Structure 1
Amino acid sequence: MTSTRRLLSLTLAAALSLSTSALALAETVTGAWTHAFTMGDAAKYPADFKHFDYVNPDAPKAGTLRLGTRGAFDTFNPILPKGDPAAGLGLTYDTLMTPSLDENNTYYGHLAKELFIEPDYSAVTFRLDPDAKWHDGEKVTAADVVWTFEKMIELSPNQAQYYASVTNAEALTDGEVKFTFNEKNNRELPLILGQLLVLPQHWWEGTDAKGNKRDIGASTQEPPLGSGAYKLQSFDAGKTITYERVPDYWAATKPTELGQNNFDTLAYEYFLDESVWFEGFKGDQFDYWSEYSARRWATGFDFPAVEEGRVVLETFAQDYNASGAMTGFIPNLRRDKFQDEKVREALNYAFDFEELNRTVFFEQYDRINSYFFGLPFASKDLPQGEELEILESVKDLIPASVFTEVYTNPVAGDSQKLRGNLRTALGLLTEAGYTLQGNQLVDANGKQLEIELLMHQASLEPIAQNMITNLRQIGVAMTLRIVDTPQYINRLRSFDYDMIYTSWAQSFSPGNEQRFFFGTGSADAEGSQNYLGLADKGVDAIIEKLIAADDRATQEAASAALDRVLLHKHLVVPGYALQYSRTARWNRFSHPETLPEFSSGFPTIWWWDEEKATQTK
């Protein structure tokens, strides 16, 4: 899903993650200053628009929204690649541009009032809003933008790779900053820079209340200085954080902000245990719950407050309208045991999704069959047209099966089908050089095939046990290791795992982020989202064709081609997904009657409803 400061319940690490997406391709304004960046048909809102259509411009500014989150936090430094940034930290900062939630892939000026894109997309210049200021009253300057950018790529290998196409960042004046690229006609690059979250250089290079010099390269628990709609009010280290709305926020009446950021305070409370976390919601310790467990959604909301209407259950398809994902069991190809494609394919035959859906998921989920699951350009049928042309251009580098077979997942759901699938899996493993000796599947040296599955969510244990139990029947020793969130993140960053269960979020318009997900250049970059460690010339070639696409049809064709090749390489055991979000809330809030097409807008465009709050108590 597209990363944005609007997703306030995410940590800033997620806001800075490389799930940022490319824009849909079409004509946009180049060679002139413009208030909006779109690669759709046209920006919906003109330069003099008053506010987004989906907001309530008269929404009251009042009340407290309490949010619960899992884990802990240890830093208020927003750009360090290590550590656990505080939840909601993005509330205190602004980005150069901000998205419209009722348009697909359209961004409007925020810190940057306008932008100028060179006709060949070789550079982009941002002109800052002269009203933009930090919470201490100092103006936001082009020097702040350049300093932030340079510190990000200096301190974070992730960011250095993601911004690898940027050869120069230059402050032309106090109010204009220019980014120059090492390639032309990459239409995503202006957006990537437009989503840059800007930090105050003068504050970070200054001293704290004790006279100690601050260090952007070190973790800190000093409340940060920002320019956003909220500032940090108070915290209890690792446990709670409270943000207060800035009364003189410089952008409060700007068209991109009117009717938004309506709560006086937002408070986050951390929980280490999931069951305690949910009981905290039921006990009215916080206000909003986003549900990811099918069992709990089906059976866990029968408490009195729901029956009395004081807790409201609601689903939002809007949250998934412009996003997709591949979620599944991801092997680490840096381990020799997963180099053979037959081993990877065999693992898929041991996953009985249909049984899980019936017994654990209450038939709520669909099996994922695409790296762009839920999006209209996911590969289907046999390739044809421009997709076929793209595949034929790299046919010597990709599996031959992409031209003759449609990818499908194995289907089980009963004991007979599962036995057949396990026989197929054992056959594939035998072809890969393994032998079943007694109850152990061993290699030529007599060593059993062992796989450690690394997880940090105990709620996913039934999914893991499905694989573990079935693989045991053919002699494979899979074990589950559940670690705490900080340890999981550290092991993820250093690729210290056999297998994980996670996902790649995909947008309506894939682009440069595919290099970071699947490109050779990211395979050994610490902290990258190339969880697989994939380094494949055929995949690289298709990614470059996708990035260079000069129209929407070519972009969709290249996306489908990439999807098809990844599927036929049997890199992942696909999992399952929903196409809507499941939420519960204490009934103290309201939202616009018509929500934007591509988001529920929570909590940015919601507001405190005094009448409901009185009734809910």
Structure 2
Amino acid sequence: MPAQSKPSIAQYDEPKYPAEFTHFDYANPDAPSNGSLNFQNYNEAQSYDSLNPFLVRGSPAPDIQHLMFDTLMQRSWDELASEYPLIADDVEVAPDGLSATFHIDPRARFSNGDAVTAADVKYSFDTLSSSAVSPLFNSQFALIKSATVIDASRVRFDFRHADRAAPLIAGDIPVFSPKWAAQADGKRIAFDQLTNVPPIASGPYLIEQRKNDKQIVYRRNPAYWAADLPSRRGMYRFERITFKLYLDHYTQLESFKAGDTDVQVEYSSTQWARKYIGKNFDNGLLTRQLFSNHGAQMQGMMFNTRKPMFRDARVRKALSYAFDYDWMNRMMFYGQYRRLNSYFQDSPFAASGLPSEQELALLEPYRAQLPASVFAAMPKQPDTLPPHTLRDNLRQARDLLAEAGWHVRDGQLRDASGTPMSIEIIDDQPGMDRVILPFMRNLQTLGIDARLREIDSALYQKRLDNFEFDMTTFIYPTVTIPGVELEHRFGTASASQSGSENYPGVRSPVVDALIRAVLRAKSLEELQTATHALDRVLIAGCYQIPEYYSPASRIAYRTSLGFPDLVPYTYQAEDWVISYWYRKPSAASVASANAH
């Protein structure tokens, strides 16, 4: 069967949008394309010192990757995994699934006016798969073996093995010009030293102004070639986007309430419940709203199973009984959260109920290596809702610890050799102490020496990368379709690789086998079966104490901003605002338009 070229691709089934579509359903193609957006900290960074978002060193300027670097194709936000034309206007996947050839749109241009060629795409891939960049990009594109230039407009990616996700992963490659590293004298700057040179990039924005390491202004490129593509129509409507970085959340919130910035995405339930008040809310300048969002991130209190005290799953399970989520949600979170019970919460890939026949077919060969709970109904996390109590839960924890050989002697929980259990919980997020401290008190009730150490984000990341921690709260970002990232998060091979995301140190042949089942799934049904089975095994392994998630995005904003009527199915709130919101026309401009 010969390969067929298509303008869009889907990992499973067919893309939602036909070839002649004009815009995504969640975009407003008639939205005004002017005005400015004053935004705050895009992430946890409080300053920046780099204009290169691909390096491991330095802190990149806020959102520079998305604003200045287009990818080969554009993913839609209302499908599980589909991509549509952007820099590439056509893709041809080989019948054996071992390669994909992308055709570059002849209109595609870099910010300096140069045409984007297949050689530029290969350069971008070769750079992002080299040691010069952050390992996160190495791992993201690890499935791609090589890139080959066929001619000026076609580039072929060969894959290490056939995988339905591979062509879409290739479509996610951000493209930049080799001239970015070129100097006037003809010499080139090594890519890992390329930190303060404005990119020659492919995206919709340019850097207009840098006042200091806490503020940057992007200006929409008036010559941006892709503005009218269906995948871009109704997108990037602000003429200017300014980021102002604040050192703490209090200052950030007060700046928004004073009208200095336009949008505040709130992640604190307490702040949302109590702090969004004041004259600018009363006079209608500011408002706030909950927006539905699907696909919860897996957030939990993570164990480092490389530590001897955490190697026994009974110990890890016992400590989960000391986490009193229900009390926290009632007393501190104003009832705004829901409990996580899955690594794929609020998605089609979360396990529920009893295992299906198809799931059992995957699990039965490993029955002897798995706890009985894997073959029972998917468990819920311990709760303290009546008739359950924290006292009862701590009794169960005590009994499990005793089974694992830990007993209280001389007021401390000790193993058979008399060594006390001592746990250091590290964190770098302001405000998480109010979650960790109640948990620590319950651990201390069990006789455990538990301590919290708050450290800065750079040291925190270094300790995570080198697995130098006992416990920490960690969030695995959600993905629309589980795939190769599972190897980096839970595969045995990644457990000993510094910088990998297998922070809990999962080393399980069963998990490895189920990840392989996920990656070789040939249909959506097969994928769901494999992820359900994997979910059961990961939850039973007690590698994290699942915490909580919000079923909605909390966004406060200036009422002069508008947004499309349809909210995407799944999205990052900051990205949605920056990409699809707009400045509503003033009453005066509307009146003038009507007069004409």
TM-score of Structure 1 vs Structure 2, range by shorter chain: over 0.9
Out of 170, 173, 189, which is 2:148 matched to?
170
How far did 1:537 drift?
A: 0.5
Corresponding residue of 2:594: none
Measured at CA, do residues 411 and 614 of structure 1 come closer, stay the same or move farther in structure 2, by a change above 3 Å? farther
User: Does the residue aligned with 1:563 lie in a helix, a strand or coil?
Assistant: helix
- Determine what percentage of the aligned residue pairs are the same residue: 34
How far did 1:246 drift?
A: 0.2
What CA distance in whole angstroms lies between the structure 2 residues aligned with 1:194 and 1:442?
53
- Number of aligned residue pairs: 581
How far did 1:613 drift?
A: 11
Specify every segment of 5 or more residues in structure 1 that has no aligned partner in the other structure, as ranges: 1-28
Is 2:579 aligned against 1:604?
yes
Corresponding residue of 2:234: 259
Out of 112, 116, 138, which is 2:114 matched to?
138
Corresponding residue of 1:26: none
Measured at CA, do residues 207 and 537 of structure 1 come closer, stay the same or move farther in structure 2, by a change above 3 Å? same
How far did 1:79 drift?
A: 1.4
Out of 484, 490, 509, which is 2:456 matched to?
484
Corresponding residue of 2:97: 121
Corresponding residue of 1:583: 555
Is 2:392 aligned against 1:420?
yes
Measured at CA, do residues 596 and 179 of structure 1 come closer, stay the same or move farther in structure 2, by a change above 3 Å? same
Q: Which moved more, 1:77-86 or 1:554-563?
A: 77-86
Contact 1:324 1:372 (8 Å CA) reproduced: yes
- CA offsets 1:395-441 (integer angstroms, 9 cap, x no match): 34433331135422111258981112112112222222222123221
Out of 125, 128, 138, which is 1:152 matched to?
128
What CA distance in whole angstroms lies between the structure 1 residues aligned with 2:431 and 2:580?
31
What CA distance in whole angstroms lies between the structure 2 residues aligned with 1:416 and 1:188?
44
Is 2:492 aligned against 1:520?
yes
What CA distance in whole angstroms lies between the structure 2 residues aligned with 1:313 and 1:232?
30
Contact 2:488 2:501 (8 Å CA) reproduced: yes
Displacement over 6 Å in runs of 4+ = 612-615
Q: Which moved more, 1:454-463 or 1:189-198?
A: 454-463
What CA distance in whole angstroms lies between the structure 1 residues aligned with 2:69 and 2:523?
34
Specify every segment of 5 or more residues in structure 2 that has no aligned partner in the other structure, as ranges: 591-596
Corresponding residue of 2:291: 316
How far did 1:203 drift?
A: 2.1
Contact 1:394 1:541 (8 Å CA) reproduced: no
Measured at CA, do residues 524 and 76 of structure 1 come closer, stay the same or move farther in structure 2, by a change above 3 Å? farther
Q: Which moved more, 1:250-259 or 1:349-358?
A: 250-259
Measured at CA, do residues 43 and 30 of structure 1 come closer, stay the same or move farther in structure 2, by a change above 3 Å? farther
Is 2:482 aligned against 1:510?
yes
What CA distance in whole angstroms lies between the structure 2 residues aligned with 1:44 and 1:407?
35
Mapping for residues 246-395 of structure 1, pairs under 5 Å: 246-317=221-292, 319-320=293-294, 323-395=295-367
- CA offsets 1:271-302 (integer angstroms, 9 cap, x no match): 11121121121122211111111111111112
What CA distance in whole angstroms lies between the structure 2 residues aligned with 1:420 and 1:219?
58
Amino acid at match of 2:489: F
Measured at CA, do residues 416 and 569 of structure 1 come closer, stay the same or move farther in structure 2, by a change above 3 Å? closer
TM-score (norm 2): 0.93
Measured at CA, do residues 512 and 613 of structure 1 come closer, stay the same or move farther in structure 2, by a change above 3 Å? farther
How far did 1:572 drift?
A: 1.0
Measured at CA, do residues 478 and 177 of structure 1 come closer, stay the same or move farther in structure 2, by a change above 3 Å? same
What CA distance in whole angstroms lies between the structure 1 residues aligned with 2:432 and 2:385?
19
How far did 1:30 drift?
A: 7.9
Out of 468, 472, 487, which is 1:496 matched to?
468
How far did 1:54 drift?
A: 3.3
Corresponding residue of 2:593: none
Corresponding residue of 2:207: 232
User: Does the residue aligned with 2:399 lie in a helix, a strand or coil?
Assistant: helix
User: Does the residue aligned with 1:180 lie in a helix, a strand or coil?
Assistant: strand
What CA distance in whole angstroms lies between the structure 1 residues aligned with 2:416 and 2:566?
63
What CA distance in whole angstroms lies between the structure 1 residues aligned with 2:581 and 2:143?
38
Contact 1:542 1:562 (8 Å CA) reproduced: yes
What CA distance in whole angstroms lies between the structure 2 residues aligned with 1:366 and 1:49?
37
Out of 66, 87, 97, which is 1:111 matched to?
87
Amino acid at match of 1:192: I
Measured at CA, do residues 406 and 593 of structure 1 come closer, stay the same or move farther in structure 2, by a change above 3 Å? closer
Amino acid at match of 2:505: G
Is 2:406 aligned against 1:431?
no
Amino acid at match of 1:176: R
Measured at CA, do residues 431 and 238 of structure 1 come closer, stay the same or move farther in structure 2, by a change above 3 Å? farther
Corresponding residue of 2:177: 200
How far did 1:261 drift?
A: 1.0
How far did 1:248 drift?
A: 0.6
What CA distance in whole angstroms lies between the structure 2 residues aligned with 1:193 and 1:135?
22
Amino acid at match of 1:606: W
Measured at CA, do residues 283 and 34 of structure 1 come closer, stay the same or move farther in structure 2, by a change above 3 Å? same
Out of 165, 171, 181, which is 1:188 matched to?
165
Contact 1:76 1:89 (8 Å CA) reproduced: yes
Measured at CA, do residues 420 and 429 of structure 1 come closer, stay the same or move farther in structure 2, by a change above 3 Å? same
- CA offsets 1:208-255 (integer angstroms, 9 cap, x no match): 6x9874221125122222111001112234211110000010111222
What CA distance in whole angstroms lies between the structure 1 residues aligned with 2:270 and 2:385?
18
What CA distance in whole angstroms lies between the structure 2 residues aligned with 1:53 and 1:78?
30
Amino acid at match of 2:216: I
Amino acid at match of 1:571: Y
- CA offsets 1:519-569 (integer angstroms, 9 cap, x no match): 112212222221212121000000101110111111111110000001111
What CA distance in whole angstroms lies between the structure 2 residues aligned with 1:500 and 1:613?
53
Q: Which moved more, 1:51-60 or 1:146-155?
A: 51-60
How far did 1:329 drift?
A: 0.2
Measured at CA, do residues 421 and 219 of structure 1 come closer, stay the same or move farther in structure 2, by a change above 3 Å? farther
Amino acid at match of 1:515: E
Amino acid at match of 2:114: E
What CA distance in whole angstroms lies between the structure 1 residues aligned with 2:157 and 2:149?
9
Corresponding residue of 2:510: 538
Contact 2:54 2:137 (8 Å CA) reproduced: no
Contact 2:258 2:280 (8 Å CA) reproduced: no
Corresponding residue of 1:5: none
Amino acid at match of 2:69: Y
Mapping for residues 53-68 of structure 1, pairs under 5 Å: 53-68=25-40
What CA distance in whole angstroms lies between the structure 1 residues aligned with 2:569 and 2:393?
41
Contact 1:378 1:563 (8 Å CA) reproduced: yes
User: Does the residue aligned with 1:378 lie in a helix, a strand or coil?
Assistant: coil
Q: Which moved more, 1:59-68 or 1:76-85?
A: 76-85
User: Does the residue aligned with 2:23 lie in a helix, a strand or coil?
Assistant: coil
Contact 2:352 2:377 (8 Å CA) reproduced: no
How far did 1:496 drift?
A: 2.2
User: Does the residue aligned with 1:342 lie in a helix, a strand or coil?
Assistant: helix
TM-score (norm 1): 0.90
Contact 1:355 1:414 (8 Å CA) reproduced: no
User: Does the residue aligned with 2:297 lie in a helix, a strand or coil?
Assistant: strand
Measured at CA, do residues 151 and 242 of structure 1 come closer, stay the same or move farther in structure 2, by a change above 3 Å? same
Measured at CA, do residues 504 and 30 of structure 1 come closer, stay the same or move farther in structure 2, by a change above 3 Å? farther
